[in-house]
Amino acid sequence: MKRHNQNDDDWDDEEFDNSDDEPTIDCPYCRREIHEDSQRCPYCERYISDEDSPPTRKPWWIYVTVGLLLFVMLDWLLWALYGLLF
């Protein structure tokens, strides 16, 4: 069986169309490009659904809580070492 390539006279460009006409999305887990109709990512093999997608960012209250805890710990440390309070 003869293999065809683009230099052959009987090469048909339409038969081997490599255009990016098919809609794609990013996998919510591995961020690689997959077909829009895929039920499962071929790279990370996780199922694709809006309910299971990881959160885009952490809630704001986590940052506020961590900041307040760091402030309280620093204030306690300065009070314990030097008798200073903010």
Q: What is the pLDDT of residues 13-70, one digit of tens each?
A: 555 555 557 789 998 889 999 998 888 999 999 888 777 666 677 789 999 999 999 9
Q: 38 with 61, same domain?
A: no
User: Does residue 33 lie in a domain region?
Assistant: yes
Number of domains in the chain: 2
Q: What are phi and psi of 24, to 5 degrees?
A: -130, 160
pLDDT of residue 52: 65
- pLDDT, mean of residues 1-18: 56
pLDDT of residue 63: 94
Q: 80 with 60, same domain?
A: yes
Residue 2 gets which letter from DSSP?
Answer: P
User: Does residue 1 lie in a domain region?
Assistant: no
CA distance 86 to 71: 9
User: Does residue 12 lie in a domain region?
Assistant: no
Q: What's the predicted TM-score (pTM) here? A: 0.38
pLDDT of residue 28: 85
Q: 26 with 43, same domain?
A: yes
